Amino acid sequence: EVRLVESGGGLVQPGGSLRLSCAASGSTFEGHVIGWFRQVPGKENEGVSCLRTSDASTYVAHSVKGRFSLSSDNDKNVVHLQMNSLKPEDTAVYYCASAPSRAPPERLCRGPLEADYWGQGTQVTVSA
């Protein structure tokens, strides 16, 4: 069974940067689609960015395009979400998720592909 552990969340001022990491144990990310989702109370879960490990193709949501980027270190089974130019509306709990699939990454972020594994979440707060 894959276990995902997120790290890197915290408090940052508007305009600042954070890098979230998602580490997998129990299996590798090979042959998976991996994604970052965020949840704000009262709002739908949003697929922020997803990546297909077989070719490193990525999907980035319109709301974060040009500010967030996703990369993978397959040797270390770690995926990084680099978040720049953060805004207060980026405040959320961020979750890492993965699915053993070779589907386009957008299908995890936007559906219909569903994640089989989820991390515990990490809080990101953007505030002055």
* Tokens 């974060």 sit on residue: 64
Of 27, 30, 28, 32, nearest to 99 by C-alpha is: 32
Which residue do the tokens 């995926």 mark? 79
pLDDT at residue 76, as a whole number: 79
Between CA 88 and CA 27, with CA 97 as vertex, the angle to 5 degrees is 140
* Closest-CA residue to 86 (of 124, 58, 49): 124
Please give the distance of CA 12 from its chain centroid, rounded to a whole number. Answer: 18
Whether 128 has a pLDDT exceeding 80, the answer reads yes
Alpha helices by DSSP H, the chain? 106-110
For position 25, what pLDDT does the model report? 87
Burial grade of 76 (CB within 10 A; 0-12, 13-18, 19 or more): exposed
Q: Is the pLDDT of residue 120 over 80?
A: yes
Confidence (pLDDT) at 34 = 95
Average pLDDT (48-59) is 95
pLDDT score of 63 more than 80: yes
Beta carbons of 104 and 47 less than 8 angstroms apart: no
In the predicted structure, residue 74 carries a pLDDT above the cut 80: no
